[in-house]
Structure 1
Amino acid sequence: MEHRALWALKFLSFDPCDTAEKKRRQIIELEEMQLHAYDSSKNYKEKVKFYHDRKLVKEVFNPGQRVLLFNSRLKLFPGKLKSKWFGLFMVKNVLPHGVVELTDPASKDPQRSWVVSGQRLKHYLGGEVERLSTVMELVDPN
């Protein structure tokens, strides 16, 4: 019986030192694969970030410029032809980190101002804007 067990160990070449060495090599190989995958992922993210950053255009606002403000409020049924940009505002002050202080030149209180993110603004390149208002008189049919 003992002879068969020795024969099986020889047949399977079961040597505890060899199996421990083989297991250690496999662990090292897995760690190298993990490190390679990490480096590849890092390189890919850097390339994608560089590509996207290259496409971004940094807008610079100066006091006295006229700008339009993006209306980011959620509307359930917006009109198809309704613009998401509204107003004609003046830049009062430019603060750090892309924050811009705006004033409305058409308001009754010229000192009233508010602060918005510079990402919500774009330069106004047109001429003077006419603010139109329509009055509809309703007549009782009786």
Structure 2
Amino acid sequence: MDWSKKLDDALWAYRAAYRNVSIPALNKLNLDWDVAANLRVAHLNGLDEFWHHVYTSSSLYKEKMKYLHDNYIWHREFKEGDLVLLFNSCLRMFLEKLKPKWNGPFEVVGVTPFGELDLENKNNEVFRVTGHRVKHYLGKVGDGHVVAAIHFK
């Protein structure tokens, strides 16, 4: 069967055929303009109230998350004479597991009001770094003291 010969006839029959109008669309259509306008305004007011509720709840959520985030930030204050460790931010191609990321300890020589620190290394060389790259050096763990000796049989 050759469909190419019958295609024109089929398309003409489809265009010329009577099709029913969609009934659900007619049921939803409101021909009374006053009632339709009032419904539309009520719907827009409902959307406006919903938007206001969403805006306030999102702003409360943002405040709560900011409070929780700020609680986890340690505010570090450095004074002259403190010992600090400096973060080594060099990109290493071959990671060595036992190489620490923190260098030091360094002594704080000066503190600027904007959070920069002047550090001095063991060779008495002074250099300036930002306060975000350092943390307090707590020192090495010393030898433990014997509190009580317990002997088992």
Give how far 1:13 is off: 5.2
Q: Does 1:123 align with 2:136?
A: yes
CA spacing shift, 1:13–1:62, aligned 2, 3 Å? closer
| Percent identity (aligned) | 42
Unpaired runs of 5+ residues, structure 2, are 1-25, 141-153
Q: Give the Cα–Cα distance (whole angstroms) in 2 for the partners of residues 15 and 53 of structure 1.
A: 57
SS in 2 for 1:22: helix
Q: The residue matched to 2:35 in structure 1 has which SS?
A: helix
Structure 2 letter corresponding to 1:69: L
The aligned residue for residue 97 of structure 1 is: 114
Distance 1:116 1:84 in 2: 16
C-alpha deviation, 1:34, in angstroms? 1.3
Unaligned runs of 5+ in 1: 1-8, 128-142
Provide the aligned length of Structure 1 versus Structure 2: 114
Deviation of 1:46 after TM superposition, in Å, equals 0.8
Query: Alpha carbon RMSD of aligned pairs, Å?
Result: 2.1
Give 4+ residue runs of structure 1 displaced > 4 Å after superposition: none
Amino acid of the residue matched to residue 18 of structure 1? V
Distance (Å, rounded) in 2 between the aligned partners of 1:31 and 1:90: 59
Structure 2 vs 1, CA of residues 122 and 19 (structure 1 numbering), >3 Å: closer, same or farther?
Answer: same
Q: How far is the alpha carbon of 1:35 from its aligned partner?
A: 1.6
